[in-house]
């Protein structure tokens, strides 16, 4: 049968939240925090309004490994992203500068409880951790051109193969104007990136100077600890397999 104990433990852990005196200590052993952080940034980038509390897979990697019960997360059903709602409308999400959390509380059912606890408690400097990770992603996969070029390339492929026309002919009430939708996304992405740059820090603020490190030793140490923890975690299963 299915062993639900790791998921039950995780749900119970999050339900208790910071009321537990060991919450901050236990958190990185209960969840794969680098992945949980990436997931939050991911749904923030996409303004994924339907993937914060549902349309999610929770899983564990390998129960026989050192951190076998640690929970990881992955998205599912990403149709409400990139400035569109799950039903294909743009009424609430066309503004690419909308704050994800404000949107979720105003228009949805609130933020995922784990992310809510991380935002409301200063014990782990979560915002600083997100800003550091965002800086890394912005220099690689999340460069504006990297994102827009992918949409443009697929749109061109659809046009050349006439796949967009076949799709529109088959589902006229659902998939009309595919190329127009791509143009909408191409306009939406730069505005979203600009909003997130303002939220997490512009490129000019990403290089941590020696002065910043000396002024913020606890944040710098936590960042290094997180990198070490992630490296150990991903190395262990290889050693034990």
Q: Output DSSP code: residue 18.
A: G
Alpha helix (H) residue ranges in 139-209: 144-161, 163-170, 178-200
Q: Which of 190, 195, 206 is nearest to 102 (CA)?
A: 195
Contacts of 43 (CB under 8 A, 6+ apart): 51, 52, 75, 100
Q: Which of 236, 238, 232, 222 is nearest to 37 (CA)?
A: 222
Task: Give tens-digit pLDDT for 142-196.
Answer: 999 999 999 999 999 999 999 999 999 998 887 788 899 999 999 999 999 999 9
pLDDT at 236 over 60: no
This prediction's pTM? 0.81
pLDDT at 233 over 80: no
Task: Give tens-digit pLDDT for 5-57.
Answer: 889 999 999 999 999 888 988 999 999 999 999 999 999 999 998 998 889 99
């Amino acid at each position: 049968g299915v062993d639900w104990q790791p998921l039950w433990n995780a749900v119970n852990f999050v339900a208790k939240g910071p009321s537990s005196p060991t919450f901050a200590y236990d958190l990185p052993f209960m969840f794969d925090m680098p992945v949980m952080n990436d997931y939050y940034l991911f749904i923030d980038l996409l303004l994924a309004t339907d993937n914060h509390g549902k349309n999610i897979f929770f899983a564990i990697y390998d129960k026989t490994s050192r951190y076998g019960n640690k929970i990881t997360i992955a998205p599912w059903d990403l149709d409400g992203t990139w400035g569109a709602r799950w039903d294909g409308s743009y009424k609430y999400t066309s503004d690419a500068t909308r704050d994800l959390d404000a949107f979720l509380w105003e228009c949805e059912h609130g933020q995922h409880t784990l992310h809510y606890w991380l935002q409301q408690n200063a014990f782990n400097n979560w915002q600083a951790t997100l800003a550091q990770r965002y800086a890394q992603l912005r220099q690689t996969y999340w460069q504006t051109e990297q994102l827009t070029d992918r949409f443009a390339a697929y749109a061109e492929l659809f046009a050349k193969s006439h796949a967009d026309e076949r799709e529109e002919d088959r589902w006229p009430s659902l998939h009309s104007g595919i190329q127009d939708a791509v143009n909408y996304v191409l306009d939406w992405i730069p505005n979203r990136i600009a909003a997130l740059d303002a939220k997490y820090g512009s490129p000019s603020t990403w290089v941590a100077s020696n002065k910043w490190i000396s002024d913020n030793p606890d944040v710098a140490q936590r960042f290094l600890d997180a990198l070490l923890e992630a490296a150990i975690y991903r190395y262990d299963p290889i050693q034990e397999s």
